[in-house]
Amino acid sequence: MLLSFSPFLQNPLSPPSPKNPNPGPRPPNSHQILHLSTNGDEPTYQTERGLRFETEGAFFRHESATGRDLGVLSASLYRRSRQQLRVLDAMCGCGVRSLRYLAEAGADFVVANDANDYHRRVILSNLKSVDRGCGESKRWVVTHFDANRILSECYLNSDFYDLIDVDSFGSDSSFLRTVFNAIKRGGLLYLTSTDGYSSGGHRPYNTLAAYGAFIRPMPYSNEVGLRMVIGGAVREASAQGYHVTPLFSYYSYHGPVFRVMLTVNRGTLPENKDYGFISYCNQCGNSQSYSWEELGQISCPCSNTIGSRSLVVSGPLWIGPLHDATHLTEMLNLAEQWGWVGNDTGTDLEKLLLQMLDESDPRLPSGYIKLDEVASRAKINSPPLKVMMSAMHKEGYAASRSHIASNAIKTNCPMMDCIRIAKELQGC
């Protein structure tokens, strides 16, 4: 049951006023016990981009630093263009993102929320560090609500956010019902899913039940995973009178993790032409995208039709661009300005952003072609990626690396021509 706050109580999310320094009533389901280190150990500290914070007992993964970097870059660009940034970090763990949105993106106000109030001491300690120990700040508040509840409260209190970060365990889909009503027009939604199993297409009916999309095994299932996350947001946004546009989409094999940054705007799109289906033909290796209107025409150049076992179809999912090239360029410029290019979080951010920019070429279709698959179909050794790409470019095809798979090419070159080019390169 959804509990709403009494109108006589302060909205738990509003910053404390000088008259009422208390950030709000404690949630009915939480308690005041602060769990300090029980074994007498010193708190464990981590450092990310020069910021020091505690993680004791809370969920924290160093491997997610790149995802946090990308989020902070987008948030900072938003802050610069809109002159304001109110963030709801709906599942903050130890509060590292909240800390980074405050310290690096210049957020004006952050709600650091995590259902688990066991983390309270750690989150408070981390956020206090942003004010250099000056005590409770007007710039942030720590809460311990279920994410769906806090998102619903935002709507009921007309308390809207410029950026909502949903960093859930597993699928993000159970938070999509409530999240749109808590976002400002033109605001940002940063979604994360760690459900790599569903995008693999091994249990399509389970995926259909959970996501409303029927997903079959395809060689580029990790890109399908990103398209599933965006597609879920497209569907739910549309049902609630909004539409979303991806700014960037990021897959990391640490997890695996699927992250997408979306802008949310009011109004459904009349056609939703980027929400459709992808087919993959196991016989010839070609993929194609289809709108809803084209559903009855699904077939393959090798004359496989939908009834055949080897032609599989996944969807509905996002079949449009994974990134906004202008936004990526701005992120790259900002990363350079901040001295963030280089390898200090384990991922070369410059290389990643450049790869994502290459992937933004509008001529490139959904999916990618793995060179192992080309080699196996051509019955030759796997061709070198750079040589293969350059040969494709010479023939006028669009071709780019994929940030998702190191030995794969995103291209509009049909598999038949990939095989021919690979053979020619090896003198076959």
Q: Which residues bind ligand SAM (CB under 6 A)?
A: 58-60, 64, 68, 91-93, 96-97, 114-116, 146-147, 167, 169
d(CA 262, CA 271): 19
State in angstroms the smallest separation of the CB of 59 from ligand SAM. Answer: 4
Q: Minimum CB separation from ligand SAM for residue 244, in Å?
A: 21
> Whose Cβ is closer to ligand SAM: residue 93's or residue 200's?
93
Q: In terms of CB distance, is 68 or 121 closer to ligand SAM?
A: 68
Per the listing, tokens 């308690």 go with: 31
Tokens standing for residue 298: 């699904």
Q: What is the CA radius of gyration of the chain?
A: 23
**Comparison of 144 and 235: residue with beta carbon closer to ligand SAM:** 144
Residue 67 or 187 having the CB closest to ligand SAM: 67
Beta carbon nearer to ligand SAM, 71 or 320: 71
The answer to whether 52 and 129 have CB atoms below 8 angstroms apart is yes
Provide DSSP, 89-121.
ETT-TTTHHHHHHHHTS--SEEEEE-S-GGGHH
Which residue number, 29 or 303, has a Cβ lying nearer to ligand SAM? 29
Nearest residue to 275 (alpha-carbon basis) of 254, 256, 290: 290
Give me the helices (H) in 200-254, please: 204-211, 221-239
CA dist 70 and 167 (Å) reads 14
Please tell me the distance from the alpha carbon of residue 169 to that of residue 404, in angstroms, as a whole number: 21
Q: Please, which residues have CB within 8 angstroms of residue 427's CB and are 6 or more apart in sequence?
A: none
* CB closer to ligand SAM out of 182 and 389: 182
For residue 330, give both structure tokens. Answer: 């701005």
Nearest approach, Cβ of residue 92 and ligand SAM (Å):
5
Shortest distance, CB of residue 37 to ligand SAM, whole angstroms?
Answer: 18
Q: Which H or E run includes 124?
A: helix 120-128
Q: Which is nearer to ligand SAM, 64 or 411 (CB)?
A: 64
Q: How far is the CB of 189 from ligand SAM (least distance, A)?
A: 14
Amino acid of residue 34: L
Shortest distance, CB of residue 423 to ligand SAM, whole angstroms? Answer: 46
> Which amino acid type is present at position 390?
S
Identify which of residues 178 and 272 has a Cβ nearer to ligand SAM in the complex.
178
Q: What is the smallest separation between the CB atom of 87 and ligand SAM, expressed in angstroms?
A: 12
Q: How far is the CB of 119 from ligand SAM (least distance, A)?
A: 6
Work out how close the CB of 167 gets to ligand SAM at its nearest, in angstroms, rounded to a whole number: 4
Count of helix runs (H) and strand runs (E) in the chain = 13, 15
Cα separation, 3 vs 368, whole angstroms = 47
> Angle at the Cα of 43 (from 42 to 44), degrees rounded to 5?
115
